[in-house]
């Protein structure tokens, strides 16, 4: 699991170490230089004679870059620091000079700055770190635009300049890095939607901050090993009812396919049983495709309501009222989201699954500001309803209904998933995880992760169009790749 923290959390965690004279900046710079070396070798062939440009701002972020530049200069690279402001980290600048590097004071993207950036093999962005605000002066924006246009590899120090370390809000010209080397702790903003196009790979440098960070990170991201650990795998004593029964209440005369897609997502994610409740015509269509679905309502552990329903369909409001019960477990999607009214209180095992447009409409219906950045919007919707909110997008966010400021952020998805019906499949996968007993926020993050991976697999690694049903059909292969080892162990233990 990746855990990420606000800029304030990180500043607070650094303080005791700085007070104890722990040389954090020297460690950060050495680690940064070590990560730059392979990129330089890849780009320029060898380090001696390669061209490195450091973009250096007024604060400690510039200090990191300058000390790292000194390391690279000692390895034979030609290092020039392009200074964006008069103020500079003095000790860092002195170290770079001693190592043979040069300084250039930029005035916007002046001729020399443009030439240096155009000829560079590697650009190190040390303009602003956690002290940076995303509003850029015209001069700075011009320098960053020239860096982004350069053919060089771009490495951001701590946070790409122009990206807010806590919220992820990004200026248009914010640095677009291939690699972000982040210091001490992953910054929350690096995992949030606005930053996604800017951060590239994120590599954490351990500075010993862990004991000083808060126990609750601002943002979490599940990784492959978390999916392996959390995904419900049946044991020898399990049977269909103990694994979990999901009822699908989706699909209507106009959108019958939503029922098929939602039921397929649930079935392929490994539900003990999938039931369908809804019009006979939709049921028959589901059964023609998925004979394993049970066409009669009955006991279940979770219910998925709303995909392929118009907001006026009485099933929507009925579904919301059903899930307002204290012990309710389920998913409200699409049409059912429009049936939520101010004052409805849902438990956190109920997950709302809006895309951006649905989230904005729901916010309006609940008298909340609708133009908030995604992380705030997800949190406010969770706070207002009590439900867990899964806000779909390139980066999917999950806000915990019981602790709305606690977020999960999952970024496995491919843009090929932007096609009709993939959200219905997600609702089904999520229903299965809820029916298996996972808590709302964890089920939502896990569903988003596996759905995204299934999208990548269905689009052959992001190289081909997919249809929504493909996503459901690829869930087992994704799980095989992740769980393979773990399940073999269980099976051989059972058989021995």
Task: Select the residue interacting with K ion from 9, 121, 125, 424 (CB under 5 A).
Answer: 125
Comparing CB distances to ligand LP7C6HRI, the nearer of 66 and 434 is 66
- The annotation status of 385 as a binding-site residue, yes or no, is no
What length is written for the chain? 496
- The annotation status of 254 as a binding-site residue, yes or no, is no
Place of tokens 């196009």: 197
| Contact criterion met (CB below 8 Å) for 55 and 82 | yes
- The annotation status of 437 as a binding-site residue, yes or no, is no
Which CA distances in Å does 332 have to 231, 351, 390, 405, 455?
A: 22, 6, 10, 21, 22
Helix (H), strand (E) counts: the chain: 17, 18
Comparing CB distances to ligand LP7C6HRI, the nearer of 124 and 157 is 157
**Shortest Å, Cβ 169 to K ion:** 15
Q: Which stretch binds K ion (CB under 5 A): 8-16, 124-132, 211-219, 241-249?
A: 124-132
Report H helices in 131-279: 138-149, 196-199, 224-230, 240-243, 257-268
**Shortest Å, Cβ 83 to ligand LP7C6HRI:** 13
274 binds K ion (CB under 5 A): no
| Contact criterion met (CB below 8 Å) for 140 and 127 | yes
User: What is the Cβ-side half-sphere exposure of residue 56, based on CA atoms within 13 angstroms?
Assistant: 29
- Number of other CB atoms surrounding residue 341 within 10 Å: 11
Comparing CB distances to ligand LP7C6HRI, the nearer of 26 and 419 is 26
157 binds K ion (CB under 5 A): yes
- The annotation status of 158 as a binding-site residue, yes or no, is yes
The phi and psi torsions of 364 (rounded to 5 degrees) equal -60, -45
Comparing CB distances to ligand LP7C6HRI, the nearer of 202 and 381 is 202
- The annotation status of 69 as a binding-site residue, yes or no, is no
Q: Following CA atoms 291, 293, 294, 299 in sequence, which dihedral angle do they give, to the nearest 10 degrees?
A: 160
**Shortest Å, Cβ 76 to K ion:** 25
Comparing CB distances to ligand LP7C6HRI, the nearer of 18 and 356 is 18
The phi and psi torsions of 89 (rounded to 5 degrees) equal -75, 105
227 binds K ion (CB under 5 A): no
Q: Give the binding site for ligand LP7C6HRI (CB under 6 A).
A: 14, 18, 24-25, 28, 57-62, 64, 128-133, 135-137, 140, 157-158, 183-184
In whole angstroms, give the CA distance from residue 195 to residue 182: 14
Angle, CA of 22, 27 and 29, to the nearest 5°: 135
- Number of other CB atoms surrounding residue 49 within 10 Å: 11
- The annotation status of 148 as a binding-site residue, yes or no, is no
For residue 276, list its beta bridge partners: 248
Q: Which does 323 bind (CB under 5 to 8 A by kind): ligand LP7C6HRI, K ion, none?
A: none
Q: Which does 131 bind (CB under 5 to 8 A by kind): K ion, ligand LP7C6HRI, none?
A: ligand LP7C6HRI
Which residue's C-beta sits nearest to ligand LP7C6HRI? 129
In 3D, which of 190, 180, 120 has the Cα closest to residue 149?
120
Pairing of strands 403-410, 396-400: antiparallel
Comparing CB distances to ligand LP7C6HRI, the nearer of 59 and 330 is 59
Q: Cα 399 to the chain's mean position, in Å? A: 12
In whole angstroms, give the CA distance from residue 459 to residue 355: 21
Q: Which stretch binds K ion (CB under 5 A): 74-82, 120-128, 426-434, 477-485?
A: 120-128
Comparing CB distances to K ion, the nearer of 161 and 348 is 161
Comparing CB distances to ligand LP7C6HRI, the nearer of 29 and 472 is 29
Q: Which does 125 bind (CB under 5 to 8 A by kind): ligand LP7C6HRI, K ion, none?
A: K ion
**Shortest Å, Cβ 121 to ligand LP7C6HRI:** 22
Q: Which stretch binds K ion (CB under 5 A): 159-167, 185-193, 247-255, 266-274?
A: 159-167
In 3D, which of 315, 333, 332 has the Cα closest to residue 324?
332
Pick out residues in 5-64 that bind K ion (CB under 5 A): 61
Residue numbers at the binding site for K ion (CB under 5 A): 61, 125, 156-157, 161
- Per the annotation, binding residues for AMP are 392-396, 423
- Per the annotation, binding residues are 60-64, 125, 129-135, 158, 161, 258, 308, 355, 392-396, 423-424
């Amino acid at each position: 699991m990746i855990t990420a923290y606000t800029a304030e959390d990180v500043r607070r965690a650094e303080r005791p170490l700085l007070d104890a004279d722990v040389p954090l900046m020297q460690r950060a710079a050495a680690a940064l230089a070590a990560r730059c070396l392979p990129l330089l070798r890849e780009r320029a062939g060898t380090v001696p004679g390669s061209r490195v440009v450091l973009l250096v701002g007024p604060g400690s972020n510039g200090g990191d870059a300058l000390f790292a530049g000194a390391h690279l200069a000692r390895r034979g690279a030609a290092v020039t620091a392009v200074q964006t402001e008069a103020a500079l980290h003095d000790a860092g600048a002195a170290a770079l000079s001693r190592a043979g590097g040069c300084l250039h004071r930029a005035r916007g993207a002046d001729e020399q700055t443009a030439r240096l950036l155009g000829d560079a093999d590697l650009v190190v962005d040390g303009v602003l770190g956690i002290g940076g605000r995303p509003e850029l002066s015209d001069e700075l924006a011009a320098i960053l635009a020239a860096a982004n246009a350069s053919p060089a590899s771009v490495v951001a120090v701590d946070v790409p300049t122009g990206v807010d370390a806590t919220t992820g809000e990004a200026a248009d010209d914010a640095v677009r890095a291939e690699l972000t080397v982040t210091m001490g702790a992953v910054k929350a903003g690096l995992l949030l939607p606005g930053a996604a196009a800017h951060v590239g790979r994120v590599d954490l440098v351990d500075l010993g901050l862990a004991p000083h960070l808060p126990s609750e990170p601002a943002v979490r991201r599940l990784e492959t090993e978390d999916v392996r650990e959390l995904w419900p795998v049946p044991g020898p004593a399990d049977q269909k009812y103990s694994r979990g029964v999901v009822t699908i209440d989706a699909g209507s005369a106009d959108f019958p396919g939503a029922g098929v897609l939602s039921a397929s997502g649930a079935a392929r994610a490994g539900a003990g049983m999938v039931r369908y409740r809804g019009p006979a015509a939709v049921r028959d269509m589901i059964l023609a495709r998925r004979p394993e679905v049970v066409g009669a309502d009955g006991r279940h552990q979770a219910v998925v309501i709303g995909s392929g329903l118009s907001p006026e369909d009485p099933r929507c409001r009925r579904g919301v009222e059903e899930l307002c019960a204290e012990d309710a477990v389920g998913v409200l999607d699409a049409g059912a989201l429009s049936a939520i009214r101010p004052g409805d209180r849902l438990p956190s095992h109920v997950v709302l699954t809006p895309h951006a447009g649905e989230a904005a409409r729901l916010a309006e219906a609940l008298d909340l500001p609708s133009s908030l950045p995604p992380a705030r919007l997800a949190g406010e919707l969770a706070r207002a309803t009590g439900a867990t909110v899964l806000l779909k997008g390139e980066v999917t966010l999950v806000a915990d209904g019981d602790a709305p400021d606690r977020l999960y952020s999952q970024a496995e998805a491919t843009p090929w998933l932007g096609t009709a019906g993939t959200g219905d499949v997600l609702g089904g996968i999520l229903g299965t995880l809820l029916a298996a007993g996972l808590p709302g926020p964890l089920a939502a993050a896990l569903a988003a992760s596996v759905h995204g991976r299934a999208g990548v697999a269905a689009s052959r690694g992001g190289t081909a169009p997919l249809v929504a049903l493909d996503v459901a059909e690829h869930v087992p292969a994704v799980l095989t790749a992740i769980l393979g080892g773990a399940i073999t162990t269980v099976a051989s233990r059972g058989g021995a």
